[in-house]
Structure 1
Amino acid sequence: MRRLLPPPTGDDGTNGSPGPGGPDGKQWSLTDLAAAYAYPDPLPAEGWLRANMVTSLDGAGHHEGRSQPLSSSADMRIFGVLRALADVIVVGAGTVRSEGYRPARRREEFAAARAAAGQGPAAAIAVVSAGLDLDFSLPLFTEPLVPTLVVTGEAAPPERLAAARAAGARVVFAGDGAGVEPARVRAELAALGHRRQLTEGGPGLLGRFVTAGALDELCLTISPRMTAGTAGRIAYDGTPLEVPRELEPVSILEEDGFLFTRYAARSLGR
């Protein structure tokens, strides 16, 4: 893996400030990657919501409904590190169904760091769903290290709310009606102590976060693959922004032709 941004050398050819990370040209350790993707310090009281997504060169956010065909071993290492750094992983119900989501697992390599940061053994999974059309018998709900959260509106179907609670899930309301308000998702999770937030989509949920101005950071893997077909892009919800929102590039890593980019919508505070 090599770092493209920040540059490892200054413009004048002298050693510049490389920022956190590992040695270029070698596989970075998990510690190196954790430093490169650290959350802001100090962490904002209202929480920090980052997204982790992958796209093909021709703009596909998935291939035949799944992100795995666009991924790589390095992408999966970063995927695991981002999960290990998070308090909560926010995901849409459709993505839970299509990707076969399971509970986040405990990573021994991160156990000491999570304990020092006051985090639990693994990130909680927060499933955003208005209708709660979910299979509550799945391991995501019955076998998590920490209880899975179900984020919904106060007018969600009562029988589905009861089923979620019976399965051991914690219900979080982030909308007054049947729907979910994206800005409230971040606020309600932060109020529970989950300030390091990570969303893995899907595209509809990410689009709503973008439209609401609730997304702080995007970690985007650009896969050196093309898919053609009709796959959608990484973010959409049917409501285009009047003015496109600009993010600032923070870092770019490269390995085996994959680009691992990081963009922030506001200052990282360090």
Structure 2
Amino acid sequence: MDRLLPVPAALDDAAADALAAQYAYPAGLTAPYVRVNFVSSVDGAVTVDGRSGGLGSAADRRVFGVLRELCDVVLVGAGTARAEDYRGARKPGRGRDTPPPIAVVTGSAGVNPKSRLLTDTAVPPIVLTLRTAPATRLEALADAGAEVVPLDRLTPDALLAELGRRGLYRVLCEGGPTLHGQLHAADAVDELCLTLSPLLAGGDSGRIAHGPAGATPRPMTLVHALHEDGTLLLRYARAAGR
């Protein structure tokens, strides 16, 4: 893997520490810091045949693993978790004895108690849902081992406040596009890690963010650009002073 920015150089990621240093969160966090991670084809598709896996590469998978090791919690919408057949994280994070929990956002508590999120995990998932969700679903998820958290609303401020209350400051959002769009509209995205896969996907796949019209564009700064076998791995952060 080669680093194109800030200084062209070979990046020896055989030692995982080298790659982890490229993606380190800011030190001394006292509130949730939201990093969003997506993979896209060069023509903007976020899925192939309904899943993002068709866009992946060895480089993207390595970075995906590092991002999970570095975070305190993985935040994901229930639709994405279902489409991608999510399982729980199983590899301990850096500086942690346990993997980061998967926090699933679903207003209707629409998570299958028999899904891999609950049956193939080392830590219980956190289900962030509404108090108005069907009681039978809440009970079924709790009985299956999920940590069910009913909230009054699932707006970005409410979600991040709950994660912050738990001390889960290093947030890794893995989508989907609707959750990303809501976070952007609330100006809650601190970082975007975007992998550009060297594919023309075509089709009717959506983009990486869908949100309400009128959201204010957020200036971002390119922090680094990595390259391997035609794949670009880009990391953007909030522009200074913005």
Q: Give the structure-1-normalised TM-score.
A: 0.84
Residues 184, 96 of structure 1: CA spacing in aligned structure 2 closer, same or farther, 3 A cutoff?
A: same
**Residue 250 (str. 1) matches residue 235 (str. 2):** no
Aligned to 1:12: none
Alignment of structure 1 residues 97-136 onto 2, 5 Å: 97-107=82-92, 113-114=94-95, 119-136=96-113
Specify the structure having the higher radius of gyration (Cα).
1
Q: Which amino acid counterpart does residue 228 of structure 2 have in structure 1? A: E
After superposition, the C-alpha distances for 1:103-152 in whole angstroms (9 at most, x for unaligned) are: 10125xx6xx42xxxx3410100110011122111231134222110011
Query: Among 222, 227, 231, which residue is 2:205 paired with?
Result: 231
Deviation for aligned residue 1:61: 1.0
Q: Which amino acid counterpart does residue 236 of structure 2 have in structure 1? A: Y
Contact 1:183 1:213 in 2 (8 A): no
Aligned to 2:3: 3
Query: Among 118, 123, 134, which residue is 1:141 paired with?
Result: 118
How many correspondences in the alignment? Answer: 241
**Residue 91 (str. 1) matches residue 76 (str. 2):** yes
Contact 2:13 2:19 in 1 (8 A): no
CA distance in 1, matches of 2:160, 2:48: 29
Alignment of structure 1 residues 257-268 onto 2, 5 Å: 257-265=230-238
Q: Which runs of 5+ in 2 are unaligned?
A: none
Deviation for aligned residue 1:242: 4.1
Question: Does the residue aligned with 1:259 lie in a helix, a strand or coil?
Answer: strand
Query: Among 66, 71, 74, which residue is 2:56 paired with?
Result: 71
Q: Which amino acid counterpart does residue 24 of structure 2 have in structure 1? A: A
After superposition, the C-alpha distances for 1:31-82 in whole angstroms (9 at most, x for unaligned) are: 1111110010122x11111011011111111111111111100110000010
Residues 25, 36 of structure 1: CA spacing in aligned structure 2 closer, same or farther, 3 A cutoff?
A: closer
Aligned to 1:214: 188
Q: Which amino acid counterpart does residue 122 of structure 1 have in structure 2? A: P
CA distance in 1, matches of 2:160, 2:103: 11
Query: Among 3, 21, 28, which residue is 1:35 paired with?
Result: 21
CA RMSD of aligned residues (A): 1.9
CA distance in 1, matches of 2:71, 2:11: 27
Q: Which amino acid counterpart does residue 100 of structure 2 have in structure 1? A: A
Aligned to 2:158: 184
Aligned to 1:16: none
Query: Among 201, 218, 235, which residue is 2:175 paired with?
Result: 201
Residues 120, 151 of structure 1: CA spacing in aligned structure 2 closer, same or farther, 3 A cutoff?
A: farther
After superposition, the C-alpha distances for 1:223-267 in whole angstroms (9 at most, x for unaligned) are: 111111100001113x13343221111111111111100011266
Q: Which amino acid counterpart does residue 244 of structure 1 have in structure 2? A: P
Residues 246, 139 of structure 1: CA spacing in aligned structure 2 closer, same or farther, 3 A cutoff?
A: same
Alignment of structure 1 residues 149-168 onto 2, 5 Å: 149-168=126-145
* The structure with more strand, counted as a fraction of residues: 2
Question: Does the residue aligned with 1:227 lie in a helix, a strand or coil?
Answer: coil
Residues 164, 71 of structure 1: CA spacing in aligned structure 2 closer, same or farther, 3 A cutoff?
A: same
Deviation for aligned residue 1:159: 1.6
Q: Which contiguous aligned blocks of 4+ residues in structure 1 show a shift greater than 3 angstroms?
A: 25-28
Q: Give the structure-2-normalised TM-score.
A: 0.93
Contact 2:40 2:196 in 1 (8 A): yes
